[in-house]
Structure 1
Amino acid sequence: MGIKGLWKHVAPFGITHDLAQYSLAEGYIRNYHLSRTLHIGVDASCLLDGYISSQFAHPQLHSPVNTTFSQLFRFLNQLSRCPVHATFMFDGEERPSYKRGVKVISRSPLLYQQAQILIQAFGFNCYVAKGDAEVELCDAERLGAVDAVLTRDSDVFALGAKCVLRVVPDQCTETKLVVDVYLAERIGLSRGAYILFALLSGNDVAIQGIPGFGHTICYALCLSGLGDTLADDWVNIVNSPYHTTEYFHALKLDICNELKSNSKGYLRSRMPQLAKSFEQSDFPSVVALQAFLSPASAWSPHTRLPLPRIHSLDLIAQFCKEYIGWNGDQTLALKLHSLWPGVVIRMLCSKYLAYNVETGALLVPSIQSNALFDASGSLAQPPTTKAVIRGSNPPCLGSGASKGITCNITDFIKSANLSRMASKSDTVIV
């Protein structure tokens, strides 16, 4: 959920994109970090909780398939087909004790630990935050470690996120991931305004908010400029109880005056009765303030993430059998066949891609994210994953040419321990 009612007001500013096309434009063409890939931070706990809720909402009592993990497999497959790197952030032990009125289990659920096996098998990074995952994702974005935050919780705006991605389920397909892109600059609200909205309307920590403050009123007050400097001012007053009390007393008075006068013109009318009741409220919630302005976070400029790897196809196949319930060569081959284009794209995104122009072979190390050296200091030959481009090499992708390349993926089939008889084809078009 995040901040109660906020999505309704920021939704008009979202722009819908096929993530593959968006990341191609923003990553490859703009050449972020000189790596030509967009780095996305994914709120993994929020993502998995949504899949679990969906499984309970639509139970399949006699199905042998674990739908939570099958949905995760689908999402990872969609993400693999985009020229992106991704870090999946999980909640840590110091997340708030209560969220949305429910006591939070401090230990990491077994399902999260199992999900990390599949995520890492797809070559993406996993990272466990100190507290809330979205807090460290926003810190990582602020420090330039990731370029965008993918989540469905709106509280990332109050935590300072500049670029937020939200999946549009109705427009996604089995292989295409569609997202709404929200840029803080385009929306035009300050971080302090989002925090004020959360304090008045309600949020995951302080659910009820202030009585009488619907999200329309909260948004109008934010447009009025109230709270704009809240995040910056907090740094100067947080260690002084006296100045903190004085600051929020003055902010409370400013809100009351705006409710009474509607001097900025964003409210539908003057609201003296609401102002009177607000004067008697316990605004602001100290717990909510700390959650947004002093959250637990271990991210720092010195935090380093490993380079993403390509798929470990044998581990993916093993996971599908053991945890999802896709057994039998034909069933497994049918599911894994959809991975091949994503594997080639991940290879093309790899920092360690080697290309043989004579044979058309694409070679990428299979098991590590850094180059390996032998005892003599020479570059060691690691296990590699190979795809072979068919046709002319290098492939002609100019005007009038085919928009894709055809690759022989016999090596993929072997890596996944599939028989060629079970696989639909030993070629794929990317």
Structure 2
Amino acid sequence: MGIPGLINAIGSGERISLSKLAISHLRNNKRPIRIAVDISIWLFQVQAGRGGRNPELRTLFYRLLKFLALPIHPLFVYDGRQKPPFKRGKAVGGRSYGSAPIISLSKILIRLFKFPIHDAPGEAEAECARLQRAGVVDAVMSNDVDALMFGSSWTVMNFSKEPGSGTTAATHLDCYRIGGLGGPPNVPFDRAGMILFAMLSGGDYLPTGVPKCGSKLAGEIAKAGFGADLLEALESEELKLESNLADWRERLQYELDENESGYFQTKHKAVRIPEAFPDRTILSYYANPVVSTEEEAKALELRLQSAWDQEIDALEIRRFTAEYFEWNYRSGARKIIKLLADPLVSYRLRLQRPVLAFGAPLLSELDTPILQKIYRSRTSFSTDGQTELQVDMIPIDVVGIDLMSEEANPQTPLPESVESADEEDEQDQTTGPVTPSISKIRVTRRYDPCAPEKVWVFETIAAMGIPEVVEKWKREQAEKAGKAGKSATAKKAPARKSAPRKKGPIDSGMKSGSILKYGTLSKQKPEMSPAKQAQLLQAAASPASRNSYSSKKDNLKSPNSPFGSMMVQNLVSKEGFSDFRNQGLDDFVERFFEEFILAALTMVRWRQ
């Protein structure tokens, strides 16, 4: 579906997590982002679900849970009766996806989540783009680039899992902007250019396009502005229409043949624009689709003001899942409580409503206070670094489903504490959950909805529902950071000060980079008591030390060692050894290093 090659021509959009898109919009605009969802694409995708009863509905159920947990106002748009009768050369009749049962059941499920539904007069994609241009919604969600071609200035597509996020759930999407809404533009074509692109390279209504005109050339023609000229010609009076279209074709053909204006990388004389181009009927599907009028769009906008943010009846959702997913008995009720509790906490905090189920008693029979403390914070790759805070809640009190009113589970071969991997799978997968198999069965602790449980809530949402708790936590974190900073400052060792090195004299006869460039060496005299100095001098002057020193002197005086010979002759001479005995150890050390430098210089000259 869509326009082949258009995605490659416009480039990759901004990859962003749905969480960041929603939280950022809430923080900047003080309201949830309003998104028109082309449900036909969703229903086409979820049909790949497998395992159990109605797997496609179950996959849709998991996606609706994601929308419930985030600050999003979705509007699910369905195809209408006046949509084009064919796509890709095939008649679509009164439907373009799935079967009638999935359409009706999906509407029931969406309404149970209190999300509004809108039946378009024609194609859902065109209607979504119309509502976005009219300001009824902020953005359009679709997996088809046709939404861009129909004029949506802010479109999000390809809602899917992100490699490296550590989850198989859909978390990220591609964001495309033609206007300045939602961020800087990142689509190089205007609407007229994309319409012309579809007519030239082929699309849903004209699969073949113009012969020998591929997506690359179609993109160059669109960028050259021929799309806007074409739509301008079509708006001319009937008497001048054919003449203006003929002039447009002639100018385009001339540029293809000669490339006089430099629009293309090379000439394209093999490409011939047909005299019947463009097909008026096909062009009308793109340029003038059947959509809501201005009055109808305003009426819809007025209806939506009270359609969002209604209280959700968890019991109705529980009955639906029991009938269509076969989540029966108390185990099915526990599963619904587990899936609904976290999203409902975020949903009610954003609306600044009590988190506990409205009008229901405390089913847990616990007096444990909830949402009174923040335990820690986190950021994750799957949310593009949006800060989340961990609070506590009691799931059964949030959802309000009484387990004791449910029928007990019948006896099964498996013990009650054994559940399949699918029973613990809460992730939205395009392919849907798979049928449990013996190889996937694992023993787990049975979920207890009456026990307190930690839940992650976005900081922006928590600040709306429990502002005092969030402020208290921020003060505590600031105090901890201050104490940690003072402790680190106190433990920090003072920097050791050292005098700058002095460079010694440079010998012009030495090569660059020789030892002289490092300067002269000096040795600080050690602080040594007179008693210790006398002890060392007595040991050095003993006969054993003198004999050992003489043997080392003889070894260093080898003819093959000019360095050793010179150093020993200067340092361990009779006079030098006498200085050692008379002046003491300190003076001898200083004399030793002076002789060492002299000997090293001599060795360098000898090697050169």
Of Structure 1 and Structure 2, which has the larger fraction of its residues in strand? 1
Find the aligned partners of 1:112 and 1:97 in 2 and give their Cα distance. Answer: 19
TM-fit CA distance, 1:255: 2.1
- Partner of 2:121, secondary structure, is coil
Q: For residues 167 and 4 of structure 1, do their structure 2 counterparts lie closer, same or farther at Cα, with a shift above 3 Å needed?
A: closer
Match of 1:283 in 2: 277
Match of 1:374 in 2: none
- Whether 1:297 and 2:291 are equivalent positions in the alignment is yes
Match of 2:119 in 1: 128
Say which is worse superposed, 76-85 or 414-423, in terms of deviation: 414-423
Given that 2:76 and 2:117 are in contact with CA atoms closer than 8 Å, whether structure 1 keeps it comes out as: yes
Say which is worse superposed, 188-197 or 71-80, in terms of deviation: 71-80
Match of 1:427 in 2: 453
- Partner of 1:228, secondary structure, is helix
- Whether 1:105 and 2:93 are equivalent positions in the alignment is yes
- Whether 1:137 and 2:123 are equivalent positions in the alignment is no
- Partner of 2:186, secondary structure, is helix
Find the aligned partners of 1:9 and 1:251 in 2 and give their Cα distance. Answer: 23
**Counterpart residue type for residue 392 of structure 1:** Q
TM-fit CA distance, 1:190: 1.1
- Whether 1:75 and 2:72 are equivalent positions in the alignment is no
TM-fit CA distance, 1:89: 0.3
TM-fit CA distance, 1:142: 0.9
**Counterpart residue type for residue 104 of structure 1:** V
Q: For residues 190 and 391 of structure 1, do their structure 2 counterparts lie closer, same or farther at Cα, with a shift above 3 Å needed?
A: closer
Unaligned runs of 5+ in 2: 179-184, 379-386, 407-445, 458-608
- Whether 1:20 and 2:19 are equivalent positions in the alignment is yes
**Counterpart residue type for residue 33 of structure 2:** L
Given that 1:152 and 1:167 are in contact with CA atoms closer than 8 Å, whether structure 2 keeps it comes out as: yes
Given that 2:129 and 2:152 are in contact with CA atoms closer than 8 Å, whether structure 1 keeps it comes out as: yes
Given that 1:95 and 1:130 are in contact with CA atoms closer than 8 Å, whether structure 2 keeps it comes out as: yes
Give 2:45's match in structure 1, choosing from 45, 50, 57: 50
Given that 2:37 and 2:140 are in contact with CA atoms closer than 8 Å, whether structure 1 keeps it comes out as: yes
Given that 1:100 and 1:205 are in contact with CA atoms closer than 8 Å, whether structure 2 keeps it comes out as: yes
Find the aligned partners of 1:109 and 1:288 in 2 and give their Cα distance. Answer: 27
- Partner of 2:110, secondary structure, is helix
Q: For residues 391 and 271 of structure 1, do their structure 2 counterparts lie closer, same or farther at Cα, with a shift above 3 Å needed?
A: closer
Given that 1:2 and 1:204 are in contact with CA atoms closer than 8 Å, whether structure 2 keeps it comes out as: yes
- The structure with higher relative contact order (CA 8 Å, sep 6+) is 1
Q: For residues 398 and 81 of structure 1, do their structure 2 counterparts lie closer, same or farther at Cα, with a shift above 3 Å needed?
A: closer
Find the aligned partners of 2:231 and 2:141 in 1 and give their Cα distance. Answer: 23
Given that 2:233 and 2:241 are in contact with CA atoms closer than 8 Å, whether structure 1 keeps it comes out as: no
Match of 2:316 in 1: 315
Q: For residues 426 and 254 of structure 1, do their structure 2 counterparts lie closer, same or farther at Cα, with a shift above 3 Å needed?
A: farther
Unaligned runs of 5+ in 1: 355-360, 367-382
Match of 2:145 in 1: 154
Find the aligned partners of 2:362 and 2:241 in 1 and give their Cα distance. Answer: 61
Give 2:27's match in structure 1, choosing from 29, 36, 57: 29
TM-fit CA distance, 1:154: 0.7
Say which is worse superposed, 244-253 or 199-208, in terms of deviation: 244-253
Superposed, 1:205-216 pairs within 5 Å as 205-216=205-216
Superposed, 1:6-405 pairs within 5 Å as 6-12=6-12, 14-25=13-24, 27-31=25-29, 35-52=30-47, 54-55=48-49, 63-106=51-94, 109-171=100-162, 173=167, 177-184=171-178, 185-231=185-231, 234=234, 236-237=235-236, 240-274=237-271, 277-278=272-273, 280-298=274-292, 299-304=296-301, 305=304, 306-308=306-308, 309-331=310-332, 333-334=334-335, 336-350=337-351, 353-354=352-353, 361-362=354-355, 390-392=370-372, 403-405=389-391
What is the root-mean-square deviation of aligned Cα atoms in Å?
3.2
Q: For residues 391 and 113 of structure 1, do their structure 2 counterparts lie closer, same or farther at Cα, with a shift above 3 Å needed?
A: closer
TM-fit CA distance, 1:391: 4.9
TM-fit CA distance, 1:344: 1.9
Say which is worse superposed, 36-45 or 286-295, in terms of deviation: 286-295
- Whether 1:414 and 2:362 are equivalent positions in the alignment is no
Q: For residues 317 and 231 of structure 1, do their structure 2 counterparts lie closer, same or farther at Cα, with a shift above 3 Å needed?
A: farther
**Counterpart residue type for residue 20 of structure 2:** Q
TM-fit CA distance, 1:125: 1.1
- Partner of 1:20, secondary structure, is helix
Could you say which structure has the larger radius of gyration? 2
Say which is worse superposed, 284-293 or 295-304, in terms of deviation: 295-304
Match of 1:371 in 2: none
- Partner of 2:307, secondary structure, is coil
Find the aligned partners of 1:175 and 1:332 in 2 and give their Cα distance. Answer: 23
- Partner of 1:186, secondary structure, is coil
What TM-score does the superposition give when structure 1 sets the normalisation length? 0.79
Find the aligned partners of 2:251 and 2:377 in 1 and give their Cα distance. Answer: 61
Pairs aligned (count): 386
Identity of aligned residues (%): 23
Find the aligned partners of 2:227 and 2:281 in 1 and give their Cα distance. Answer: 18
In the TM superposition, what whole-angstrom CA distance separates every residue of 1:174-218 from its partner, at most 9, and x where no partner exists? 665311111112213111001100111111122222221111111
TM-fit CA distance, 1:321: 2.2
Q: For residues 208 and 321 of structure 1, do their structure 2 counterparts lie closer, same or farther at Cα, with a shift above 3 Å needed?
A: farther
Find the aligned partners of 2:247 and 2:268 in 1 and give their Cα distance. Answer: 19
Find the aligned partners of 2:258 and 2:89 in 1 and give their Cα distance. Answer: 35
Given that 2:334 and 2:403 are in contact with CA atoms closer than 8 Å, whether structure 1 keeps it comes out as: no
Q: For residues 314 and 398 of structure 1, do their structure 2 counterparts lie closer, same or farther at Cα, with a shift above 3 Å needed?
A: closer
Find the aligned partners of 2:267 and 2:280 in 1 and give their Cα distance. Answer: 28
